[in-house]
Amino acid sequence: MQVKRFFAADMRQVMKLVRDELGADASIIGTRRVAGGVELTAALDYQAPMMPARQPNPELEVELRRTQSMLVSAHADLATRVSGEKMKDGQLFANESIVAPELPASFVRPERPKPAAAPAPAPAPAMAVATDQRSLDAMRFELNGLRELIEVQLGSMAWGQMQSRRPQQAALWRRLQRMGLPAELARVLLERVSKVPEQRQAWRMILAHLAHAIKTPKVEPLEEGGVIALVGPAGMGKTTTLAKMAARYVLKYGAQHVALVSMDSYRIGAQEQLKTLGRILNVSVTQVDPGQSLTQALEPLARKRVVLIDTAGLPGNDPALHMQLETLAGRGVKSRNYLVLAATSQSQVLKAAYHSYKRCGLTGCILTKADEATSLGEVLSLAISQHLPVAYLADGPRIPDDLHVARSHQLVSRAVSLQAPQEPSEDAMADMFTGLYQNPARRAG
């Protein structure tokens, strides 16, 4: 028997290490929390005969689900017990403050000698309280680790059942994973075609449903006119996109109808970059410094058909960002704010950008750096889930040639062309199904 310890940041990563090195037949001996992550001890008996691929075991699945429900009950019992102890202590101290009412003299019995009172118990030391808290924390960690372990096992089991019982659906799952679509969106799309018998037809219908889910403006933002602000974190391509939009409008309608405004006084050279663009296009550039009123800065530009505002890309916890977003959301500005998202960004970065900048009221989004991206699934899924219309797609450095009005079917076609050439691994597919089991109410179709 071979026994080995593995270390990773969380349970899912450490389970992947076990599968990669010891295989699916490894046994989990124990887990414990250590500094910086989780330590898992696994064993593998090399003397065991080679067994054929295991078929899905319904009894094991029932047992895992029962264990999962026991975990939920254990969490509830733990919370109830802690709150009950607090309530009990509160009642005990409250009763000590009650004073008995005085009785008439006729009802007073002669006092009897009272036995010597027992010494009051010493108050519990702070060390005992800290020990109890550590015990609760350890129990919570063990429960969370067991829950993650069950989720991983359920995800692997669900994927195995999908391959054996519904191979056509499994093949479609793989194709959607190659596009970079998250598990939840893939599940919704596959539910739409669950009754389509032919795989090629089902795939075409999936792409049609995906295109229908992507919203695009009926009128191009530049054609609609008004004040347009580009917002988003640093490095997403806001200034370059604004330059493309300005050049696009100047080539079509002339320089006298457009103006540029810069709110970025934090990045070195940002305003100089916009001034250079203004000189090249022969359009006016207005600088708005921190503390200066944006409404007053826009008043001289009221006759311009289009005013493009370049904003500063600030971290989500920066107070200056909060002030900037409040200014753009003000009634006096009346701007349409578009979130600029780089297609090269990871899913968590895209989600963080949306939640940081949604406070200003987003009209839509602009997708940039499509020429550098290896997948469009992550950024398209964010636009779909947050109901953000995609206004433009930027796919290169050329101004303004590499800026295109977004069309949903073209975005889907681009996403398909960028799908990963190799098939996803079994571990990747199992992890995809594990994401569905993190919420018991969701189940893979």
Q: What is the pLDDT of residues 52-92, one digit of tens each?
A: 444 555 555 665 566 666 666 666 666 666 555 555 555 54
pLDDT recorded at residue 187: 86
Encode 171-183 in three state secondary structure.
Answer: HHHHHHHHCCCCH
Residues 337 and 363 sit within 8 Å (Cβ to Cβ): yes
The Cβ of residue 217 has, within 10 Å, a number of other Cβ atoms equal to 18
Beta carbons of 238 and 231 less than 8 angstroms apart: yes
Task: Using pLDDT thresholds of 50, 70 and 90, give the confidence band for residue 126.
Answer: low
Quote the CA–CA distance of 3 and 425 in Å, as a whole number: 26
Select the more confidently predicted residue: 1 or 294: 294
The torsion angles phi and psi of 358, rounded to 5 degrees, stand at -70, -15
The CA distance from 51 to 63, in Å, is: 22
Q: Is the pLDDT of residue 143 over 80?
A: no
Peptide bond between residue 400 and the one before it cis (omega within 30 degrees of 0): yes
pLDDT digits (tens, 9 = 90+) for 20-49: 777 766 777 777 777 777 787 877 764 444
Q: Which residue, 429, 441, 443, 434, is CA-closest to 176?
A: 429
Global pTM value: 0.67
d(CA 301, CA 296): 10
Give residue 407's pLDDT. 94
Local structure of residue 292 (DSSP, 8 states)? S
Contacts of 57 (CB under 8 A, 6+ apart): 157
How far is residue 354's CA from residue 154's CA, in Å, rounded to a whole number?
31
Tokens of 341: 């998202």
The pLDDT of residue 98 is 39
